[in-house]
């Protein structure tokens, strides 16, 4: 709704000052303004386009990075390669670790970090599995591969009859 209102307002504003506004992609936050026939003294609106941080990493891009085969294959990879930490299994612990990493222009994974730890054993296993992932299809901006920051929740869950305590609540006690 806000995006539609924004584009409507930009279109209206553009017609008032004699400019043409065009949305390039409904999923992108990029609007192109044509300055043809612009009256003298009219202001040019700034175009919003995602920009990389100081390390050249984008947080938002036109085409997001993709695990080989898509999200379903990523889930299969995690299920196949994740090992439930023995000590956590014995204690009946479970939880969700949030991991961030960068997909580089050459499809490799780097800068893997836990941003929401749950339990040291879960955290280490999540890092191990993410670092061992195969190459991804890189994200692109303006048709060129770029470095993109990705966030991945890794959930450790036991069958309900074996759960004793949730690791998040156990760590807070």
Q: 126: closest CA among 90, 161, 167?
A: 167
What's the CATH class of domain 58-172?
alpha beta
- pLDDT for residue 12: 34
- pLDDT for residue 42: 53
The domains of the chain are located at 2-49, 58-172
Burial class (CB in 10 A: 0-12, 13-18, 19+), 80: exposed
pLDDT per residue as tens, the chain (173 positions): 444 333 333 333 333 333 333 434 444 444 444 445 555 555 555 555 678 877 889 999 999 999 999 999 999 999 999 999 999 999 999 999 999 999 999 999 999 999 999 999 999 999 999 999 999 999 999 999 999 999 999 999 998 877 666 655 454 44
């Amino acid at each position: 709704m806000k995006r539609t209102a924004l584009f409507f307002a930009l279109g209206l504003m553009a017609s008032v000052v004699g400019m043409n506004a065009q949305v390039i992609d409904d999923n992108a936050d990029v609007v192109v303004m044509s300055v043809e026939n612009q009256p003298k003294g009219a202001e040019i609106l700034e175009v919003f386009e995602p920009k990389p941080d100081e390390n050249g990493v984008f947080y938002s891009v036109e085409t997001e990075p993709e695990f080989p085969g898509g999200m379903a294959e990523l889930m299969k990879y995690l299920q196949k390669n994740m090992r439930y930490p023995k000590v956590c299994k014995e204690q009946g612990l479970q939880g969700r670790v949030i991991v961030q990493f960068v997909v580089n222009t050459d499809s490799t994974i780097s800068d893997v970090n836990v941003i929401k730890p749950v339990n040291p054993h879960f955290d280490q296993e999540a890092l191990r599995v993410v670092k061992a992932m195969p190459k991804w299809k890189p994200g692109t901006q303006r048709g060129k591969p770029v470095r993109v920051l990705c966030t991945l929740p890794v959930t450790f869950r036991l069958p309900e009859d074996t759960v004793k305590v949730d690791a998040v609540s156990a760590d807070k006690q």
